[in-house]
Amino acid sequence: MTPAPPLEALQRTVDLALAEDLGVAGDITTDSVIPPGTSIRAEIRSRQAGRIAGVDVIALTLARFPEPATVTIIAADGSDVAPGDVVARLSGSARTVLSAERTILNVLGRLSGIATATAAAVRLVAGTRAVIKDTRKTTPGLRTLERYAVAMGGGVNHRFGLYDAVLIKDNHIGIAGSITVAVERARSRLGAAIPVQVEVESMHELEEALRCKVSAVLLDNMSPDTLRQAVTLVGGRCHTEASGGITLANVREVAATGVDAISLGWLTHSAKVLDLGMDLQ
């Protein structure tokens, strides 16, 4: 099911962004140069091909200013655009539109960039069983928005935080002493029915995780050949997820190994902003 736009998270981000941009003095350039009551029309256009996410930021930002301005959305969230395509049309107060411009473009460009990167990865694995997942490698304070953008790109959201799923990683295992001990401790505290995912870096660790009857394994930094062996060994007994060192250049090869999912941290920590611009009409 398509997720609803995270309006509360967008509003918080808009308020923070405007506080950074306006300070205590406001937009001293626009307020000095543009007389009150001046009206304009403008268009937000994409300067490159991409996937749109976050268009609700436009209306939310415009609404924070005293002089009214309105927006008509042309390319809704989840839409694909080509260079030159119109994303939205704005009309009303010139002061409002100009003062809101950077906040709108910053947020919309960031989220659309993540959606665009995700859509590219999703297209590359089409026809395989693998889904593209995000990770917790998000911008602090923007996780809800960035993960929504991943969903708009056709990706699947992983656990939201540390509180909603068990993922035993290498450092947990190192401190606990073994995968077996770590899994036993998690189940002792949380109950035997709790799903447990374990990160493994070798076939030996995978075998131990399978003996523990975990619900999923995170196959970390494995070559395609090793991933194929891992999928064969698992034999459908648990969910398999590949992670680490996976790019657009090799994601198709990884998907072809038969893994159920591929997690890509760079979708949120390194995706390039979609180049958007605002032009007066």
Residues with a catalytic annotation lie at: 102, 137, 169, 199, 220
C-alpha closest to that of 53 among 150, 121, 138 = 150
| Residues 6 and 144: beta-carbon distance below 8 Å | yes
Tell me which DSSP letter residue 156 carries. Answer: B
Picking from 203, 20, 175, the residue whose alpha carbon sits closest to that of residue 103 is: 20
First CA to last CA distance, the chain = 37
Q: Say if residues 211 and 230 touch (Cβ distance below 8 Å).
A: no
Give the CA distances from residue 134 to residues 31, 69, 205, 263, in Å, rounded to whole numbers and listed in that order: 42, 35, 24, 5
Q: Quick one: which of 128, 117, 127, 129 has its CA closest to 155? A: 117
